[in-house]
Amino acid sequence: MRILVINGPNINMLGIREKNIYGNNDYNSLVEKIKKEASELNCQVDFFQSNIEGEIITSIQKALGVYDGIIINPAAYTHYSIGILDALKSVNIPAIEVHISNIHQREDFRKKSVTAEGCIGQISGLGFEGYTLALRGLINLIRK
C-alpha cells in the first residue's frame, strides 16, 4: 500500500506561522508523525509539499498508477483551486482532504472547500492527528 501525502502553501512554515492556530510543531515533526503511523500500519508514505499550485496538480497527476491513495491539505488552494479539484477527479485515486485547523470556525472565505468534492472525505480541526486518522481511514477503505 502506497499513500502520497500532499501539502500546499505555507505548510512548510508550521511552527513559525500563526502558532495560535497551527501550534508549535514544525513540518518535519508532522512528517515524522505520519511516517510512524504508516510504519505501524505497514504502509509506505511519500511526501510532497509545494507553495505552487501547478506543482501540486502535477504531483496528483503523477500519482496515477503509482499510489493507492492520497492525503491532501491544499491549504489556501482549498478555497479556490478548480485545477486541484480537476486533478483529483481525473486520477480517480481515493483522497482524503485534511486541515490542521477547523476551517468551518474561521473566516467566511475559509469555510468553503472547492477541492473536497474530489475527495472521499474531509478531516478538519484535529491538528496533526487529522493526518494519522486520514491515513487509517484511507487504508481501511482501500483494503475493503
Note the pLDDT of residue 120: 97
Note the pLDDT of residue 104: 81
Quick one: the chain helix, strand, coil %, rounded to 5? Answer: 50, 20, 35
79 is catalytic: no
Give me the residue spans of the domains in the chain: 2-143
Does the structural domain 2-143 have CATH classification 3.20.20.70? no
Note the pLDDT of residue 144: 80
Per-residue pLDDT of the chain (144 residues; tens, 9 = 90+): 999 999 999 999 998 887 877 778 899 999 999 999 999 999 999 999 999 999 999 999 999 999 999 999 999 999 999 999 999 999 999 999 999 988 887 778 777 899 999 999 999 999 999 999 999 999 999 988
pTM (predicted TM-score): 0.94
Q: Which residues contact 83 (CB under 8 A, 6 or more apart)?
A: 53, 54, 57
* Cell (9 digits) for 125: 480541526
Q: Are 79 and 99 in contact (CB under 8 A)?
A: no
**Which entry of 77, 79, 80, 99 is annotated as an active-site residue?**
99
Note the pLDDT of residue 75: 95
